[in-house]
């Protein structure tokens, strides 16, 4: 497939075009993120009822579930960008992977910590080697592995390429995380938000949960755009130093 056949993929590959688009989007995503997270925390902590079995412990869900969703979504986006960088040599693909990785690692860490806080009162242990928890921990190590590998080379481009390959290899963990509760006997509860018969949660809990998922999503978009702009600026500085003989 030639690059001419995929104009949408390369429309904003030019750093200047991307910068213009980013400057238009950032104020909106930042504002929407603040509003959604504020409303989500209010409804989740104060307005939604406690669960009839879990009590107020259920409120951990409003952070744990969005963080878990974003941990997988971010890695999936990284894998798509890594493939675009390798196949089509997209100018910003590798930089997107690098910009998104710390955010994905943070979401995964929040997911694991919140899950442990929920697991102690529900299961009687901070951690169990449950299939869902273990595969999520593997995802966290994949993020950390990428962050270590991408900076392990003197040539930044070689580091980005090696990191992209690692991301593509690690994408096999995503379906394991998703279907682990169906493939193995686990302590982790099965899906209750997205099922063939619709959500299995009370509507009073769905509102804060969806608000938090939207808030986490727009927060990611905001920060990853800021990090991309920073990476582009760093690349221009390196190019200027190389051209002027400072490196």
Report pLDDT digits (tens) over 188-239: 565 555 554 555 567 778 899 999 999 999 999 999 999 999 988 888 887 7
Single out the residue of 34, 93, 101 nearest to residue 74, CA to CA.
101
Q: Model confidence at 242, in pLDDT bands (50, 70, 90)?
A: confident
Task: Round the average pLDDT of the chain to a whole number and report it.
Answer: 86
The number of beta carbons lying within 10 Å of the beta carbon of residue 170 is 20
Q: Using CA atoms, how far apart are residues 26 and 223, in angstroms rounded to an integer?
A: 9
Residue whose tokens read 């959604």: 36
Instruction: List all residues 6 or more positions away from 103 whose beta carbon is below 8 Å from its beta carbon.
Output: 74, 220, 223, 224, 227
Q: Is the pLDDT of residue 94 over 50?
A: yes
Name the CA radius of gyration of the chain, rounded. Answer: 20
Specify burial of residue 94 (Cβ count, 10 A radius: 0-12, 13-18, 19+): buried
Q: Report which of residues 133 and 171 the model is more confident about.
A: 171
Instruction: Output the CA–CA distances (angstroms, integers) from residue 132 to 2, 50, 178, 216, in the order listed.
Output: 40, 25, 8, 21
Phi–psi pair at 20, nearest 5 degrees: -65, -45
Report pLDDT digits (tens) over 132-163: 889 999 999 999 999 999 999 988 889 999 99
The reply to whether CATH 1.20.120 applies to domain 21-48+57-190+207-244 is yes
Q: Where are the domains of the chain?
A: 21-48+57-190+207-244
């Amino acid at each position: 497939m030639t690059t001419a056949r995929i104009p949408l993929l390369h429309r904003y590959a030019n750093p200047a075009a991307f910068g213009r688009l980013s400057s238009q989007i950032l104020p909106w995503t930042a504002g929407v993120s603040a509003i959604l997270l504020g409303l989500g925390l209010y409804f989740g902590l104060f307005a939604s009822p406690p669960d009839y079995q879990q009590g107020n412990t259920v409120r951990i869900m409003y952070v744990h579930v969005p963080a878990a969703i974003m941990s997988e979504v971010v890695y999936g986006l990284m894998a798509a960008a890594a493939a675009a960088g390798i196949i089509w040599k997209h100018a910003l693909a590798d930089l997107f992977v690098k910009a998104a990785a710390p955010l994905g690692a943070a979401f995964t860490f929040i997911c694991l910590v919140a899950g442990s806080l929920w697991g102690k009162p529900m299961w009687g242990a901070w951690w169990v080697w449950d299939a869902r928890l273990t595969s999520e921990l593997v995802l966290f190590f994949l993020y950390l592995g990428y962050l270590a590998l991408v900076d392990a080379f003197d040539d930044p481009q070689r580091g980005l390429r090696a990191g992209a390959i690692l991301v593509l290899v690690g994408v096999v963990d995503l379906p394991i995380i998703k279907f682990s509760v169906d493939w193995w006997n686990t302590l982790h509860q099965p899906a209750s938000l997205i099922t063939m018969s619709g959500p299995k949660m009370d509507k009073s809990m769905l509102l804060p949960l969806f608000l938090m998922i939207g808030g986490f999503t727009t927060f990611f978009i905001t920060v990853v755009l800021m990090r991309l702009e920073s990476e582009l600026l760093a690349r221009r500085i390196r190019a200027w130093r190389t051209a002027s003989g400072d490196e």
